[in-house]
Amino acid sequence: MQDTLRITEVFYSLQGETRTAGLPTVFVRLTGCPLRCQYCDSAYAFSGGTLRTLDDILEQVAGFRPRYVCVTGGEPLAQPNVLPLLQRLCDAGYEVSLETSGALDIARVDTRVSRVVDLKTPGSEESHRNRYENIELLTRNDQVKFVICSREDYDWAVSKLIQYNLAERAGEVLFSPSHHQVNATDLADWIVADNLPVRFQLQLHKLLWNDEPGR
């Protein structure tokens, strides 16, 4: 029996987020998540999916001839076989990123992978799941993300930025508005007013394709 993963979808699109935003990227979305962020735009990946072998997934990815591959979910680290998948994607020569809630241990992820760790804000209603031990594992190849639902979330994110010196520790600190929950212009203005060393971002794929799955 070969190693398998439960997969919701594999698709080719433009990366909508993070430091590679705008670049053509293959997405591998793993099924299942132990969290329930109130804003989650990927709840369709909580269940269902198809059990697939790593060979099968790698073959489909290769068919797109990509440079960038993003492993997301659901919560990818909830399936242990994501670790050999990430390793094999790196071995195949792709630039690989992993989107994770940060609720699970990131230590064993291949160091070639850019780990995008979402520090869950109080507004997500899942901030009690943050695994703060992950922060000391971050390198300049990694990214930290805050999805901000309110001014209170913004103030909380700024306090974590300072407390953990995140702008020095990670390669990027990303501040993203929770879709339709906080005014994006307000968030941009707060960042400029406070002269923060963070990168503001909008989810490009929602501007381009609204909220269609598989884009």
Ligand X SMILES: C[S@@+](CC[C@H](N)C(=O)[O-])C[C@H]1O[C@@H](n2cnc3c(N)ncnc32)[C@H](O)[C@@H]1O
Ligand Y SMILES: Nc1nc2[nH]cc(C(=O)O)c2c(=O)[nH]1
CA R_g for the chain: 17
Please list the residues that pair with 98 across neighbouring strands.
Answer: 71, 115
42 touches ligand X (CB under 6 A): yes
Shortest distance (Å) from residue 117 CB to ligand X? 8
Instruction: State the amino acid at position 6 in one-letter form.
Output: R
Look at the alpha carbons of 48, 67, 90, 20 in this order and tell me if their dihedral is positive or negative.
Answer: negative
- Shorter beta-carbon distance to ligand X: residue 61 or 174: 174
Closest CA to 186 of 150, 157, 159: 150
- Shorter beta-carbon distance to ligand Y: residue 177 or 190: 177
- Shorter beta-carbon distance to ligand SF4: residue 167 or 204: 204
Shortest distance (Å) from residue 27 CB to ligand Y? 6
Binding site partner of 20, from ligand SF4, ligand Y, ligand X, none, Cβ cut-off 5-8 A by kind: none
Site for ligand Y in 76-135 (CB under 6 A): 99
41 touches ligand X (CB under 6 A): yes
Q: Please work out the total of residues on this chain that contact ligand X, with binding judged by CB under 6 A.
A: 18
Residues 86, 58 contacting (CB under 8 angstroms)? no
Q: Which residues contact 17 (CB under 8 A, 6 or more apart)?
A: 99, 116, 145, 174, 176, 201, 203, 204
- Shorter beta-carbon distance to ligand SF4: residue 66 or 74: 74
User: What is the Cα–Cα distance from 156 to 191, expressed in whole angstroms?
Assistant: 13
Shortest distance (Å) from residue 205 CB to ligand Y? 3
**Angle at alpha carbon of residue 214, lines to 154 and 24, rounded to 5°:** 80
**What residue ranges bind ligand SF4 (CB under 6 A)?**
33, 35-37, 40, 42, 73-75, 101
Catalog residues that contact ligand X under the rule CB under 6 A. Answer: 33, 39-42, 72-73, 75, 99-101, 118, 145, 147, 176, 178-179, 203
